[in-house]
Structure 1
Amino acid sequence: MNVVIVGSSLADSLEQHLCDSFRVLGHDAFLIDTVAIGPMGTRGNYWLSRFVGLYDRLVGRQLAGKIVNHKPDLVLVVYRYMNPILVEQVKAQLPDIPIVQLNPDALSNLEKQQIIAADFDYYFSKEPYIVEVLRHKAGLNAHYLPEGFNPRFHQKPPIEKAVAEWLTDIDVLVFGSLYAYRVRMIEQLIRAGVKVAVYGTKGPYMRPDVRTVFQRQRLIGQSKNRLLYGARIVFNNLHYAEVTSVNQKYFEINGIGGFQLCDYKPTVDSYTGVPADLVTYRTMDDAIDKIRYYLAHPARRHELAAKQYAHFQEHHTFDRRVSQLLQTVGLMPPIVQEQTRPTDR
């Protein structure tokens, strides 16, 4: 099967991992980014499209032409901000090809609601609340699909975790976009006396305490595997707009074999391989108490990390997610559904 994915071409992006999984499962997969349209690049195209309607429609038409030229059997659009004319143009020329929207973002990142305005054949979201609203109120063909990790990229280093922790010597690691909400939570860890190392992308409101522990490095590739596995604790604080769902990092950390302490969300109960209350927190006081406990009990965190690693290798790879998507779209035979999968409300 020939699959075209519209989305980010950045290293370690969801779209890159989806392409890899489609190929591993025996399909041809091609990734198209807006960087291929004109001289502006992805960021320039985004901002120009946001404010200039004529340019927005032009980008949609040009992307549609590139998609059609690949003669796909399936089109998967990950970007949320594409003009609805993209879907309209592809359907006009390929009326029998399913066009799927896969939204990996929180509720706050629905842009100008372009995905709701466009006539996709299927809508997939990691957020059960979004699925419920799209299906039962907007009348769209919406389905729940969690994110995952790529076992060929997110790999456990071949050494004992205790040795990796000794070599890395990081008590608590935080990584990701340093928006104000995340920064405020990191500050509370620092004030509590927790030794924190922060990696990721600098935000516009970096505060002094966090600036002192910011490593000025985006984690990808082998460095990401080494540091997430080697940190004694990886602290994953989810965006406040994650209503019931988690982020992709949640799956990557566990898939690499790191020990993760994460915001509690209802979907965690269906993902985790150990009791959720052992590896989640509900308040910052709860998080600080658990950090202190697990720093003092290395054998316990190693045990939990090993159980999570085995569970996530079996249940939460992108290969499984792609298979679930294809089964829902009707492009592969039904597969056995996981009993832990949350029901669509």
Structure 2
Amino acid sequence: MSIIKHPKAHHYQPSPAEEARARGREAGYRGGYEEGYLKGRADYIVKSHAESFPFRQLHVLYVASGKGFPYSPMDEAISETLRSMVAQLTVIEPGQPINEVAYQVMPDLVLVLDGMFVPNEQLDDIRRQGIKTAVWLTDDPYYTDMTTENVGHYDYVFTLESNCIPYYQQLGCRQVHHLPFAAFPEYFKPSKTPAAQRRDVSFIGSAYWNRVEYLSPIMDRLMQHNTMINGIWWDRLPNYAAYQDRIEVNKWMGPVETAEAYNGSKIVINLHRSHEDDSVNNNTVKIPAASPNPRTFEISACATLQLTDARSDLAKLYTPGKEIETYTSPQELLDKIEYYLSHEQERREIALNALDRTLREHTYGHRLNQLLSVIFP
């Protein structure tokens, strides 16, 4: 009996190109799953936070900032939120005779945003008619040289900067309250669809000199990741030419476009401006900044991991390490970027916790309800 010998089977060895394609498919599948999981969880959190605030039988005359972009989205957020909270809302620009409009409509409250362009004598006239007046200051402490002249002409002063409270009290203001910024969920919210442009890291904001000096030492390594920067003045960077294909300069991004960038990013850097930069500030008394900027809330409302420089008020608003991440040096910023880019589950959980905290406590509905509760207890 003869034995038939079969030729030895050869184990197939894929080519390097085939291996690369396989790794790409696996990474794409994993990335798609992770993004889908994040969006599903985020959608559940959004649906579980239906805002409901007391409705007040009040007539509010709202005086917009009059500053145009980027203040106009804030004006819209405030006016649209107020419409659902009070019986009547009248909105005007600072160029109109505010005292004459107030005589005609006789509101319960004249609420002014920023107030830089509002004549103080008109405010005094309104107060003589027994109408309550309030201002929400948006640029403290960077323009206190100008707000110093205005705050005494209001019944109520609300400032986003807690360090300005004792300063205004020393000026004779009896009703001064801390009212931080917030998120407007109509603009800043998790996207339900995959982002058109994916980024590992984003930074959106103006290139103030403190930001240029802070990021310059780590820019080479930062740009080794899929990093995009948007904002004015970034051609100030010493090696700008090396990164200009990933820096969009001299463009103000609207809230919808900004939210799209946040949603398309794994990590968004937040780096506050300096209170000591005399090239852009009017803060002669050098009041330091303790309170976070509006991006703190807007990034969090998009369910994106935020890395921010730590300001002293931050821990009152978000829990570091659980709902937001902080850094105290350029090297720590870089280290945490690289850590969270390789630890997807931790990155995702912090981002979702940030969304939940924002919708629970940090929307314009929460802020305006607080403001109205102070004035009409």
What residue number does 2:100 align with? 65
Q: Secondary structure at the match of 1:168?
A: coil
In the alignment, structure 1 segments of 5+ residues that lack a partner are 38-61, 334-345
Give 1:208-227 correspondences, 5 Å limit.
Answer: 209-210=239-240, 212=244, 213-216=246-249, 217-227=251-261
AA aligned opposite 2:155? D
Q: Secondary structure at the match of 1:243?
A: coil
Q: 2:164 aligns with which of 130, 134, 147?
A: 130
User: Is contact 1:273-1:312 (8 Å) kept?
Assistant: no
AA aligned opposite 1:72? P
What residue number does 1:57 align with? none
Q: Note the C-alpha offset of 1:150.
A: 1.0
TM-score normalised to structure 2 length: 0.71
Q: 1:32 aligns with which of 92, 97, 100?
A: 92
Q: 1:206 aligns with which of 208, 214, 236?
A: 236
Give 1:313-324 correspondences, 5 Å limit.
Answer: 313-324=359-370
Q: Note the C-alpha offset of 1:192.
A: 3.1
Q: Note the C-alpha offset of 1:79.
A: 2.3
User: Is contact 1:170-1:231 (8 Å) kept?
Assistant: yes
Distance in 1, Cα, partners of 2:199 & 2:152: 46
What residue number does 2:189 align with? 155
Distance in 2, Cα, partners of 1:68 & 1:199: 45
Residue 84 (structure 1) aligned with residue 120 (structure 2): yes
Q: Once the two structures are superposed, what CA deviation does each residue of 1:182-202 show, in whole Å capped at 9, x if it has no partner?
A: 2333433413343431223x2
What residue number does 1:171 align with? 200
TM-score normalised to structure 1 length: 0.77
Q: Once the two structures are superposed, what CA deviation does each residue of 1:278-336 show, in whole Å capped at 9, x if it has no partner?
A: 60111222211111111222221111101111111111110011000000012xx5xxx
Q: Secondary structure at the match of 1:232?
A: strand
- Residues 263 and 292 (structure 1 numbering): CA distance in 2 closer, same or farther, change over 3 Å? same
- How many residue pairs get aligned? The number is 298
In the alignment, structure 2 segments of 5+ residues that lack a partner are 1-57, 276-287
Residue 238 (structure 1) aligned with residue 238 (structure 2): no
Q: Aligned residues: percent identity? A: 20
Rg larger for? 2
Distance in 2, Cα, partners of 1:173 & 1:138: 43
What residue number does 1:21 align with? 81
- Residues 277 and 311 (structure 1 numbering): CA distance in 2 closer, same or farther, change over 3 Å? closer
Moved over 6 A (4+): none
Give 1:88-127 correspondences, 5 Å limit.
Answer: 88-92=124-128, 95-116=129-150, 118-127=152-161
Q: What root-mean-square deviation, in Å, do the aligned CA atoms of Structure 1 and Structure 2 show?
A: 2.6
Residue 4 (structure 1) aligned with residue 77 (structure 2): no
What residue number does 1:191 align with? 220
Distance in 1, Cα, partners of 2:307 & 2:202: 10
